[in-house]
Structure 1
Amino acid sequence: MKTPLRFFNFLFILLIISVGQTAFGKITTGDGKITGKITDKSTGNPIAGVTITIPDLKIATSTDANGNYLLKRLPKGEYLIQVSAIGYASETKVVDLGNTYSVDFKLSTSNYELSDVVVTALGNTTTRKRATIPITVVTNKMIREGVANTAIDLVSSQPGVNATTEGSGTTKPQINGLGFDRVLTLMDGLPQEDFQWGDDHGILIDPYAVHSAEVIRGPASLQYGASAEAGVISFKSAPLPQNGTVVGSVLTEYHTNNGYLGTSLNIAGNHNGFVWGLQASGEAAHSYSNPKDGYVWGTAWNQVNGRLVLGVNRSWGYSRLTLSALHRRIELPDGNRDSTGRFMFDFPQNGKIYPTRSDFLSYNANIASDKSLGEYQAWWQNSVNVGKGKIGLDIGFARSVHHDIDTGTVGAGNLILGDIPFNLKYQIADDKSGLKLTTGVNGMYEFHHNGDAPPLPYVPDYEIPNYTNFEIGGYAIVEKNFKDLTLSGGLRFDHTNFTGDPMSLNIDGRIVPVGTSGSTVQFSSFNNKYNGLSGSIGASYQLPGNNYVKLNVSKSYRAPAINELTSNGLNIGSNLVQLGNRNLKAEQGYQVDLVYGYDGKDVSVEADGFYNHINNFIFANRTDSLSGGFPIYQYLSTNTAIITGVSGFLNIHPAATKWLEIDNGFTYIYSHIPNETDSTRHLPYIPAPHLNSEVKFRFNDGHNSIFKGTYVKFGLQHDWAQNNVYSAFYTELPSAQYTIFNAGVGTNLVNPKTGRTICSVYVNCTNLTNVAYADHLNLAQYFLAYNGTPATVTQQNQGIYNMGRNISFKLIFPFGSNSHKTTTEE
């Protein structure tokens, strides 16, 4: 314990010294500002409602009716500024807020919004095309126009990205065929460690708190550590407004299939550099339905979330504190049925053995076995100017609470996790030379303990031991920008130290002192240490004719997760027993990414091919044994696992036909375990090849019309059959191909006199033809029981299918001094 605490004391003292120096003016003085005018490049006319953002500072504003903008009370230093508007190609420029006070932009018309957007998830702010590894950007406009039950739903349809699900309210991300502890999920830079190792633990991020997202497809260990072996999903809240303004919105949403009701309030302000933001929301859903299962018992859920941001922007930099609290209650579908396939209660309730229609339509997510989940966070982010560079220091605290409820309020499994993440970074960039250096140290101190056992006759479930884990890593990344070439490379070293406590249980499953007569050992003490080296070198080159290529070679490292090392019990949410393996070695991966892209006035296309060779690949192998009717899985590792694939997009946006846009995304991933038999030749749970296509028709904005930005869209998702499965002992089943169709319409109601948006309206229909289908990563398809006794699913149609037809209605009412932004949210 002493080493982590001394390290955190050092970080805190360093921050106090840095802020103290700036307070006395030893680094910089004065307030930066930037102003200018934005016009149409072809006509010279001013453009109103254009969004101007400084991503590194999370500050944004918009132009007035004359195309003018102003940002003031900003830190000194060089920052990349992005200018974006619907119907125009984005523009970026590096500005020195110490010397530059006026910058004008001339925008070219284009109906492709992702032409060269800014990305920040790599740590070095750059543009998507110049980044040396594949990055997907999900804009606020895409989020507003889409449909989601969870935050992961916001990104899961993107190329190379998938979601592992257990019902409509539990989703985990997957990138290039890898998920769980191999994908790092961030919310405003804060790692989400809320039991990410479990498929029944959904990512506890409120989708209404997400303004935009970036997905790094491939190893990103240099900046973020070993948890980013497969990639990073970086969610971001809305940028804060310009000085002297208060902006906000009220959102309400309804889904017909599962009765989803969502409401969210967002409001933020800036007064002389003091910034604040408040977001509060509530969501609830009853059981969803599909044409094969009817209403699926055990899929109701509800959630509330509150989020507060307080901070200051000064010439020396900025400091921000984010506080958030989220509570989710979610039922667990277990597929319990009678011989006719009708859903049953696990045990009689009030004399009933079958749920009634009122039970299916109930928003109370505690009728079936369920989970009570809490996520409470504090995140302090700081950036201080030091000469031509910046020192960043972030430190936080997160508490994750997980209760597996048998009935009422009784918890059989009670997990309480605490995390103290930290990040100390120094960054210096010279726009003239094109050289950037980022170096730092980051990691996390984690501590977990099991909560109190439920009273008799309930039996407690202890799946993992009480433990502590200290992770720390140091890295250095160098980037060099030439006119058309970007080179990037770096190294990282990580250290992980697990320490676990012993645990013994009596005959009733209660914890007793170790060595008690008649007790059994649930966990023995352990201390596992791991060290690993990561590295990456890559290049992106802007070829003539709007073509570009990228090549990146990386070496990744991942220490085993706590469940892989120590699991010893029933995973209630997944309906299986897991056994850990303390002899597991760290994974070592070697990946090559090759990307080709073209970004023209009519067509944009990008294709990413990758090859990933992983030594000591860890996975849960199903055995031929059962415990209490539940299958037993044992964690083990292969000598070698190989994953290859290609993903990409094709966007057609004819310059001469501005009312039309066709967007396509494709993903194909193949896995291989050398020297294995047919039933064990492939890695488990690799997504099926799939294609997403959408055609959007835009209507012209009439003069003085009350409707602006109106569109109609039609789309489809096609998943091919997945027969390359790990089929031993029915660990994984082949999945059938399917096609679902979608449609949507949206518009903005505008006051024609002022140009202010009164309300934005979005209506979407997913699975338009009400197809009965089961996605390959839908783990609920393996849930089946008869009269409460678990059964092995040997065919896909025995389990639970995905949601049927769903129509969603979304209304957004903006307000405040910047509510004249009509269709420019990016």
Structure 2
Amino acid sequence: MLLLLAGATANLAVAKITCTNKYIRVLTNTRNSGSFLLKSSNQITQKKTINGNGKITGKITDKSTTRPIPGVTITVPDLKVSTSTDENGQYLLKGLPNGQYLIQVSMVGYASETKVVDLGNTYAVDFKLSASNYELSDVVVTALGNTTTRKRATIPIIVVTNKMIREGVANTAIDLVASQPGVNATTEGAGTTKPQINGLGFDRVLTLMDGLPQQDFQWGDDHGILIDPYAIHSAEVIRGPASLQYGASAEAGVISFKSAPLPQNGTVVGSVLTEYHTNNGYLGTSLNIAGNHNGFVWAFQASGEAAHSYSNPKDGYVWGTAWNQVNGRLVLGINKGWGYSRLTLSALHRRIELPDGNRDSTGRFMFDFPQNGKIYPTRSDFLSYNANIASDKILGEYQAWWQNSVNVGKGKIGFDIGFARSVHHDIDSGTVGASNLLLGDIPFNLKYQVAGERSGLKLTTGINGLYEFHRNGDAPPAPYVPDYAIPNYTDFEIGGYAIVEKNFKDLTLSGGLRFDRTDFVGDPMSLNGDGHIVLPGTPGSAVQFTSFNNKYSGLSGSIGASYHLPDNNYVKLNVSKSYRAPAINELTSNGLNIGSNLVNLGNIHLKAEQGYQVDLAYGYDSKNISVEADGFYNHISNFIFANRTDSLSDGFPIYQYLSTNTAIIQGVSGFLNIHPAAAKWLEIDNGFTYIYSRIPNETDSTKHLPYIPAPHLNSEVKFRFNDGHNSVFKESYIKFGLQHDWAQNNVYSAFYTELPSAQYTIFNAGIGTNVVNTKTGKTICAIYVNCTNLTNVAYTDHLNLAQYFLAYNGTPATVTQQNQGIYNMGRNISFKLIFPFGSNTNKTVSAE
């Protein structure tokens, strides 16, 4: 380490300089101003001036050319604030809380850099960036609770950047991450995607939006996660049990979505986005605007989306796949020296159609009931954006989320509390709901974090949980028959945890314990012959739900390590124990799931799941190649799933929830990114997933867990064009990709619960560029054009549950072959335009 003393005054009394692998800190006891310039081997320069408070400033240059780099993004992830460098490579962040924070510097075409600084006084931190096509080399992650980097995290974490989101194609929030290694999506039609991690989904995967748990009937497979994709700036995926930090709902992992960082003090920034898809006529528009005035921060986002029925070469237009959505989101907060406080308010309304596969004997789609004298939908029906046919849904998600962080000594206390209202109506006609579910959630989180300055030791401890209450809405009037799938209930979940992390030069150790408690209380319900609620014991009534009071408790734990080996190699090992209480549908379901076309029966005697998982990862990250392979072995006792029986109810199959003594899931996933330093115009990205499951001591038809994704490979080749000095086009590229899914024959085939799936390959292509003002360098517009399923292949993804939807003249039929059900979307071309505006639009839109 080379240390240069600069600008010291004669009044300087005593100075102490401390250097560790994670940060550089300068302390002094003089009352007068002193300045130090420190240069280190990682080409990060840090200078401290004693006067001032809560500022970071500096200059960012190209390491090889020493020229300043405009448009570089500087972010403090813990505070969710950011700025960008001007045309001279200078940046300034001010009005920040005191304390130690990790800052990240990122820019397209350069390797990311991170640094931990103490904001107790003014700092000047200069960065010299190295050219690289691989932007994820040292990216910051926050989903684990402790802000760290992806390499130092002891369990595998996927980062989906804002650049990746902008350049991609998505109809839903889960679409943004579903192509990543180890991640999949379960669907029942357009707008119904639910995530899977390492072969597990629904209540085993926790989805967060800015830290707020999404409890919007997470157990249901007939609608998607109620998050607006246009509100998402970036995402992180924890692949593996995260019960330690987040509780029992994170048994398989966590998907943490994040909105855009707030801008630097004194600025207002925003963008307008518009998008169109050719296959389903998808129309999307979004407005984002945010500002910061002397520490008062605010952000507003509003969007609207609509789509008509999609098409594929096997089914033509698929009747019942239109949907539309509107969303509004407001953030208000303050940043002060003591910490920060923010309130987020959001409201989302979604209406979706659900296909049921009703056809005539020739395979032509039919209405369930004649409409306006018609039996078959016409072309105008298929192209209609009105999602209000029978078997559609009205969904609502209304949230308030208050987040706080207060500096206490050398640590921070965080307190978050919120309220969410989830609404789910299954519609019989244009306005009448047969099933009306009204769910309320009050999530809470109290956390204390402290980091040792010299020891590299971090402690995170706290309690979190939620109080949940559900009520069935009013029954529809005659002649409609109500449907009560779950009872009125309350659920109180609380857990306490402690996590310790120790950072050495090349080694990170992490471990902790957690204890959870879950209390379910359910109300009894009786129905008369018309299906309406009556008092228990009413003559002629039938018991729909019995009262229950189930209590569950469990211990979670984890211990892991990551180690940086010589020559850019690294390894990770993590051993964890997870716990999950049964979900309400698993305990109490008793009725038709209208969207999924099946009858579910719960089991009030189910026990909590207990999982034991080992994760081992190896990675290599150089200037030409980055690779990581993650293997896992997961042993779960009392594994709960829905088992199809040989019985029917009004033609619909009956599924009974049960548990196995043991379920074993194992697999490997990873990525290979080739980014030659000598060929900056080229990048090749590959992701692979293979997962295998088994239930010991079962027959051939029941020895595998249902709905394990098929092995698949995603590959993409991107060619970048050189930016001309005075060119109106910047950061232009063209890309070609493919997705190959192998056949999945390891299925739970009893009673046609699950069908084998055929292999398929689909090809994709895309182009993108930024249109800039050559005089000012400001971005006028970003343009992205993508084509998915380029050759219009007729295929069915293994987790597309709509492949099981088949009916003739309104009567459900058992699907015995994959080609009988509904196929995935065919060729689709998307067009996306983004118009940035505001006081820091000197950066290109694709700068991270």
TM above 0.5: yes
Task: Give the counterpart of 1:664 among 681, 686, 703.
Answer: 686
Superposed CA offset, 1:189-220 (max 9, x none): 00000000011121000000000000000001
Confirm or deny that 1:427 pairs with 2:443.
no
The structural deviation recorded for 1:101 is 1.4
Task: Give the counterpart of 2:256 among 231, 234, 258.
Answer: 234
TM-score using structure 2 length? 0.94
Task: State the alpha-carbon separation in 1 of the partners of residues 845 and 574 from structure 2.
Answer: 36
Task: State the alpha-carbon separation in 1 of the partners of residues 454 and 714 from structure 2.
Answer: 41
Q: Report the counterpart of residue 219 of structure 1 in structure 2.
A: 241
Task: Give the counterpart of 1:306 among 310, 322, 328.
Answer: 328
1:416 to 1:613, Cα distance in 2 relative to 1, 3 A: same
Asked whether the 8 Å contact 2:357–2:807 carries over to 1, the reply is yes
The structural deviation recorded for 1:433 is 1.4
Q: Determine helix, strand or coil for the equivalent of 2:95.
A: strand
Asked whether the 8 Å contact 1:248–1:268 carries over to 2, the reply is yes
Confirm or deny that 1:694 pairs with 2:716.
yes
Asked whether the 8 Å contact 2:782–2:845 carries over to 1, the reply is no
Asked whether the 8 Å contact 1:50–1:824 carries over to 2, the reply is no
The structural deviation recorded for 1:407 is 1.2
Superposed CA offset, 1:403-431 (max 9, x none): 00011101000000000000000000124
The structural deviation recorded for 1:604 is 0.3
Q: Report the counterpart of residue 471 of structure 1 in structure 2.
A: 493
Q: Report the counterpart of residue 97 of structure 1 in structure 2.
A: 119
Task: State the alpha-carbon separation in 1 of the partners of residues 61 and 428 from structure 2.
Answer: 62
Asked whether the 8 Å contact 2:55–2:121 carries over to 1, the reply is no
Q: Report the counterpart of residue 245 of structure 1 in structure 2.
A: 267
Q: Report the counterpart of residue 365 of structure 1 in structure 2.
A: 387
Within-5 A mapping of 1:68-107: 68-107=90-129
Task: Give the counterpart of 1:416 among 438, 444, 455.
Answer: 438
Asked whether the 8 Å contact 2:52–2:122 carries over to 1, the reply is no
Task: State the alpha-carbon separation in 1 of the partners of residues 504 and 462 from structure 2.
Answer: 25
Task: State the alpha-carbon separation in 1 of the partners of residues 516 and 223 from structure 2.
Answer: 26
Q: Report the counterpart of residue 653 of structure 2 in structure 1.
A: 631
Superposed CA offset, 1:646-700 (max 9, x none): 0000000000000000000000000000000000000000000000000000000
Q: Report the counterpart of residue 13 of structure 1 in structure 2.
A: none
Q: Determine helix, strand or coil for the equivalent of 2:319.
A: coil
Superposed CA offset, 1:500-551 (max 9, x none): 0000000000001111111000001000000000000000000000000000
Task: Percent identity, please.
Answer: 89
User: Is the deviation greater in 360-369 or in 577-586?
Assistant: 360-369
Which amino acid in structure 2 is aligned with residue 644 of structure 1?
Q
The structural deviation recorded for 1:825 is 3.2
Task: State the alpha-carbon separation in 1 of the partners of residues 229 and 840 from structure 2.
Answer: 23
Q: Report the counterpart of residue 62 of structure 1 in structure 2.
A: 84
Asked whether the 8 Å contact 1:84–1:824 carries over to 2, the reply is no
The structural deviation recorded for 1:42 is 1.1
Q: Determine helix, strand or coil for the equivalent of 2:459.
A: strand
Task: Give the counterpart of 1:487 among 505, 509, 521.
Answer: 509
Q: Report the counterpart of residue 720 of structure 1 in structure 2.
A: 742
Task: Give the counterpart of 2:814 among 775, 785, 792.
Answer: 792
Within-5 A mapping of 1:24-35: 31-35=53-57
Superposed CA offset, 1:358-407 (max 9, x none): 00000000024200000000000000000000000000000000000011
Task: Give the counterpart of 1:286 among 274, 289, 308.
Answer: 308
Q: Report the counterpart of residue 681 of structure 1 in structure 2.
A: 703
The structural deviation recorded for 1:168 is 2.0
Asked whether the 8 Å contact 2:191–2:223 carries over to 1, the reply is no
Task: State the alpha-carbon separation in 1 of the partners of residues 168 and 213 from structure 2.
Answer: 25
Task: State the alpha-carbon separation in 1 of the partners of residues 252 and 526 from structure 2.
Answer: 36
Superposed CA offset, 1:689-717 (max 9, x none): 00000000000000110000000000000
Q: Report the counterpart of residue 4 of structure 1 in structure 2.
A: none
Q: Determine helix, strand or coil for the equivalent of 1:544.
A: coil
Task: State the alpha-carbon separation in 2 of the partners of residues 534 and 820 from structure 1.
Answer: 48
Asked whether the 8 Å contact 2:836–2:845 carries over to 1, the reply is no
Which amino acid in structure 2 is aligned with residue 347 of structure 1?
F
Asked whether the 8 Å contact 2:87–2:842 carries over to 1, the reply is no
Q: Report the counterpart of residue 421 of structure 2 in structure 1.
A: 399
Which amino acid in structure 2 is aligned with residue 555 of structure 1?
K
Q: Report the counterpart of residue 475 of structure 2 in structure 1.
A: 453
Q: Report the counterpart of residue 781 of structure 2 in structure 1.
A: 759
Q: Report the counterpart of residue 340 of structure 1 in structure 2.
A: 362
| Structure 2 residue ranges without an equivalent (≥5) | 1-50
Within-5 A mapping of 1:30-41: 31-41=53-63
Q: Report the counterpart of residue 607 of structure 1 in structure 2.
A: 629
The structural deviation recorded for 1:818 is 1.1
Task: State the alpha-carbon separation in 1 of the partners of residues 702 and 53 from structure 2.
Answer: 63
Task: Give the counterpart of 1:703 among 725, 735, 747.
Answer: 725
The structural deviation recorded for 1:30 is 7.6
Confirm or deny that 1:531 pairs with 2:531.
no
Superposed CA offset, 1:157-184 (max 9, x none): 0000000001121100000000000000
Task: State the alpha-carbon separation in 2 of the partners of residues 253 and 126 from structure 1.
Answer: 35
Superposed CA offset, 1:299-353 (max 9, x none): 0000000000000000000000000000000001000000000000000000000
Q: Determine helix, strand or coil for the equivalent of 1:729.
A: helix
Task: Give the counterpart of 1:174 among 187, 191, 196.
Answer: 196
User: Is the deviation greater in 388-397 or in 30-39?
Assistant: 30-39
Task: State the alpha-carbon separation in 2 of the partners of residues 306 and 825 from structure 1.
Answer: 26
Q: Report the counterpart of residue 160 of structure 2 in structure 1.
A: 138
| Structure 1 residue ranges without an equivalent (≥5) | 1-28
Task: State the alpha-carbon separation in 2 of the partners of residues 431 and 263 from structure 1.
Answer: 46
Asked whether the 8 Å contact 1:269–1:277 carries over to 2, the reply is yes
Task: State the alpha-carbon separation in 2 of the partners of residues 693 and 431 from structure 1.
Answer: 43
Q: Report the counterpart of residue 345 of structure 2 in structure 1.
A: 323
Which amino acid in structure 1 is aligned with residue 604 of structure 2?
R
Asked whether the 8 Å contact 2:197–2:240 carries over to 1, the reply is yes
Asked whether the 8 Å contact 1:709–1:823 carries over to 2, the reply is no
Task: State the alpha-carbon separation in 2 of the partners of residues 177 and 575 from structure 1.
Answer: 23
Confirm or deny that 1:732 pairs with 2:754.
yes
Q: Determine helix, strand or coil for the equivalent of 1:104.
A: strand
The structural deviation recorded for 1:622 is 0.1
Asked whether the 8 Å contact 1:267–1:277 carries over to 2, the reply is yes
Superposed CA offset, 1:744-797 (max 9, x none): 000000001101000000000000000000000000000000000000000000
The structural deviation recorded for 1:824 is 4.5
Task: State the alpha-carbon separation in 2 of the partners of residues 756 and 209 from structure 1.
Answer: 24
Which amino acid in structure 1 is aligned with residue 245 of structure 2?
Q
The structural deviation recorded for 1:639 is 0.1
Which amino acid in structure 1 is aligned with residue 408 of structure 2?
V
Task: State the alpha-carbon separation in 1 of the partners of residues 234 and 501 from structure 2.
Answer: 25
1:344 to 1:824, Cα distance in 2 relative to 1, 3 A: closer
The structural deviation recorded for 1:823 is 4.7
Asked whether the 8 Å contact 1:733–1:795 carries over to 2, the reply is yes
Which amino acid in structure 2 is aligned with residue 359 of structure 1?
D
Q: Report the counterpart of residue 551 of structure 1 in structure 2.
A: 573
Confirm or deny that 1:150 pairs with 2:172.
yes
Which amino acid in structure 2 is aligned with residue 562 of structure 1?
I
Task: Give the counterpart of 2:136 among 98, 111, 114.
Answer: 114
Asked whether the 8 Å contact 2:665–2:694 carries over to 1, the reply is yes
Task: State the alpha-carbon separation in 1 of the partners of residues 386 and 282 from structure 2.
Answer: 13
TM-score using structure 1 length? 0.96
Confirm or deny that 1:50 pairs with 2:72.
yes
Asked whether the 8 Å contact 2:330–2:346 carries over to 1, the reply is yes
Asked whether the 8 Å contact 2:75–2:82 carries over to 1, the reply is yes
Task: Give the counterpart of 2:211 among 173, 189, 192.
Answer: 189
Aligned residues between the structures = 798
Q: Report the counterpart of residue 586 of structure 1 in structure 2.
A: 608
Superposed CA offset, 1:620-660 (max 9, x none): 00000000100000000000000000000000000000000
Confirm or deny that 1:201 pairs with 2:223.
yes
Task: State the alpha-carbon separation in 1 of the partners of residues 236 and 190 from structure 2.
Answer: 23
Asked whether the 8 Å contact 1:31–1:314 carries over to 2, the reply is no
Asked whether the 8 Å contact 1:33–1:101 carries over to 2, the reply is yes
Q: Determine helix, strand or coil for the equivalent of 1:153.
A: helix
Task: State the alpha-carbon separation in 2 of the partners of residues 824 and 745 from structure 1.
Answer: 13
Asked whether the 8 Å contact 2:53–2:122 carries over to 1, the reply is no
